[in-house]
Amino acid sequence: MAARTEQDQSFARLIQIGIALSAERNHARLMERILIEAKDMCNADGGTLYLRTDDDRLKFEIMRTDSLDIALGGTTGKELTFPSIAMYNDKTGDPNHRNVATYAALTGESVNIADAYETEDFDFSGTKKFDQGTGYRSKSFLTVPMKNHEGDVIGVLQLLNAQDPETGEVIPFPSDIQPLIEALTSQAAVALDNQLLLQAQKELLDSFIELIASAIDAKSPYTGGHCQRVPELTNMLAKTACSSTDGPFKDFDLTEDQWYELHIAGWLHDCGKVTTPEYVVDKATKLETIYNRIHEIRTRFEVIKRDAVIDHLKAGGGDEKKLDQELKDRLAQIDDDFEFIAKCNIGGEFMGPELIERVKQIASIRWQRTIDDRLGISQNEMKRKGKPSKSKLPVSEPLLGDRADHLIPYDEGEKNRYDESFGFRLDFPEHKYNQGEVYNLSIARGTLTAEERFKINDHIMQTISMLEQLPFPKHLARVPEYAGAHHEKMDGTGYPRRIKKNDMSIPARIMAIADIFEALTAADRPYKPPKTLNESLRIMSSMKKDHHIDGDLFELFLRSGIYMEYAKKFLKPDQIDEVDIEKYLDGD
């Protein structure tokens, strides 16, 4: 009866272990638990867990020897440096039956050895060498293959030196314990195989997400690395917030699942940029679309210069010297006008009212077109031009124009493509694009029109709508929220939902700061030189005072020194100037 009770207890424990193994989600902890539970069941002093690699080798994953205080692999943080064991001879291809672990893996059979020093079936020379170096005596071995539900061997569990529970003496592994260890190993193999499959799926998902982010960065040479740097800076700030023992973040922490959720959100925060036209993202001058239209305008200036010369040659009689000077002055004025337009095209300085007025004056200069401008154009462009003009060629036109065909309308239903459930608060420009020449040259700051800026900002709405359509599992359910809020502001004036601080989670607020700091310090933007640390932090300090970013997180960002840690890794040396953080930490 006592034996029956002991057996029942073993079976009950086996069931409990199986349940625990199936519930464990961490790969390292799972392998560690498999070995420890097996050791405990047969009171073994040590053990090793091997995993089979894709190239048919057994890789050391976990090793424990209690009497020698050896604990390697798993959650110890101590790496196993032993070379993996080949299951087949590298030269002949013959199966390696001399090593007991590879034999078990190759045959699928368990091997119970009472004394390794007395067997001639396997090569234990390595074990004996280990014993000589440590003074240990390896004796009994129980080596069990780990088979998944398909019967494939995915690893090997090897236990060392079973001990008598009462005397502590090393004994052979009892024959009645072997079936229990085999049952445990079978359960463990299924749990481990499931874990490996999940890990493989996770790695595939991570690789796919990083591939998308890298493709977005590669799409434009001016945003290269942004999708990779933002998640890194996000993690740096999140870790600091989690480690806070006082202040506003003392109770903030992230579970393992939440860390992964933030990791995914960081890499996907700009996935909507796949829909943003490159020529808008890369717009380096005001007249640039697919190409820089300054070349087209230069040709018109060349035409009016030649017209001036022709008019001069046609003007016979009169004061020749005076006429020559008038031509010289006229050509100089045309050159000066073009230089002004070309300078405006760069977008390097603020366009005040007086500069915009000069653009309009130059635009009013007439030139003569003698060729039909409807030849060789697309159907869409033809549609925008409308009905042909009744005027016959040649026609006189403004040197710079804001024509009807410069106005590109939205595609049918484009404004309605966002479901109200997304909660976007949008102010659509009247047109999708406005390529008017005067309109673009009159851009007050930078090179983007309101329409183009809306199109660039549209990427965040695309990000949200794309992510919210994905069937994220429960532990990744907040990825769309984290990724979709990095353009929101604490005062509710942000984009695209205009939510306030209290409506944003801490991870979302962290990502907003990371995105801004990366953008300010980036050295790969076409429209601005890279800012120094002080310039960037001064701007962010103003944003904090205006309640655009989280003031507590900004203070943590500064006091923890994360800004400098990031700078040393990603900024150019001439961007890293001396920073006095106190002047950026003054009250709101």
Give every CB contact of residue 519 below 8 A, 6+ residues apart in sequence: 226, 525
Residue 413 lies in a domain: no
Residues 50, 89, single domain; the answer is yes
Q: Please, are residues 495 and 226 in contact by the beta-carbon 8 Å criterion?
A: no
Question: What contacts 24+ positions apart, CB below 8 Å, involve 542-549?
Answer: 543/516, 544/588, 545/588, 546/491, 547/489, 547/490, 547/491, 547/501, 547/588, 548/489, 548/490, 548/491, 548/493, 548/494, 549/489, 549/490, 549/509, 549/512, 549/513, 549/516
Going by their DSSP bridges, the two strands 111-113 and 141-147 should be labelled as: antiparallel
How confident is the model at residue 1, as a pLDDT? Answer: 45
Query: Could you tell me the CATH number of the domain that includes residue 556?
Result: 1.10.3210.10
Phi, psi of 176 (to 5 degrees): -80, -15
Q: Please, are residues 300 and 341 in contact by the beta-carbon 8 Å criterion?
A: no
Q: What angle do CA 465, 467, 472 make, to 5 degrees?
A: 140
Residues 228, 338, single domain; the answer is no
Which residue carries 């005397």 as its tokens?
167
How confident is the model at residue 170, as a pLDDT? Answer: 95
How confident is the model at residue 231, as a pLDDT? Answer: 92
Residues 353, 489, single domain; the answer is no
How confident is the model at residue 413, as a pLDDT? Answer: 77
Residue 152 lies in a domain: yes
Q: Which helix (H) or strand (E) holds 410?
A: none
Residues 457, 545, single domain; the answer is yes
Query: Could you tell me the CATH number of the domain that includes residue 20?
Result: 3.30.450.40
Nearest 10 degrees: Cα torsion 162, 165, 168, 170: -20
Residue 251 lies in a domain: yes
Residues 52, 105, single domain; the answer is yes
* Helix runs in 220-252, H state only: 226-242
What tokens appear for 78 in the block? Answer: 């101590």
Nearest 10 degrees: Cα torsion 302, 308, 313, 316: 180
Residue 2 lies in a domain: no
Residues 327, 454, single domain; the answer is no
Residue 81 lies in a domain: yes
What predicted TM-score, i.e. pTM, was given to this entire model? 0.73
Residue 419 lies in a domain: no
Give every CB contact of residue 19 below 8 A, 6+ residues apart in sequence: none
Domain count across the chain: 3
> Closest Cα to residue 585, out of 560, 565, 567?
560
Segments forming the whole domain that contains residue 466: 223-277+448-584
Residues 179, 81, single domain; the answer is yes
Residue 525 lies in a domain: yes
The domain boundary, picked from 355, 388, 408, lies at 408
Residues 260, 358, single domain; the answer is no
Residues 493, 579, single domain; the answer is yes
Nearest 10 degrees: Cα torsion 351, 356, 362, 364: 150
Residue 4 lies in a domain: no
Mean pLDDT by 10 residues, the chain (588 residues): 56 64 70 84 92 93 93 89 93 94 95 94 93 94 90 92 93 90 82 81 88 79 76 96 94 94 92 88 90 95 95 82 92 97 92 96 95 91 87 92 93 74 83 96 94 91 91 92 93 92 95 94 72 94 95 95 94 92 78
Quote the CA–CA distance of 297 and 300 in Å, as a whole number.
Answer: 5
Residues 39, 182, single domain; the answer is yes
How confident is the model at residue 586, as a pLDDT? Answer: 72
Residues 301, 375, single domain; the answer is yes
How confident is the model at residue 12, as a pLDDT? Answer: 67
Residues 242, 334, single domain; the answer is no
Quote the CA–CA distance of 299 and 80 in Å, as a whole number.
Answer: 71
Quote the CA–CA distance of 191 and 31 in Å, as a whole number.
Answer: 10
Half-sphere exposure of 458 (CA within 13 A, CB side): 21
How confident is the model at residue 562, as a pLDDT? Answer: 96
> Amino acid identity, residue 315?
A
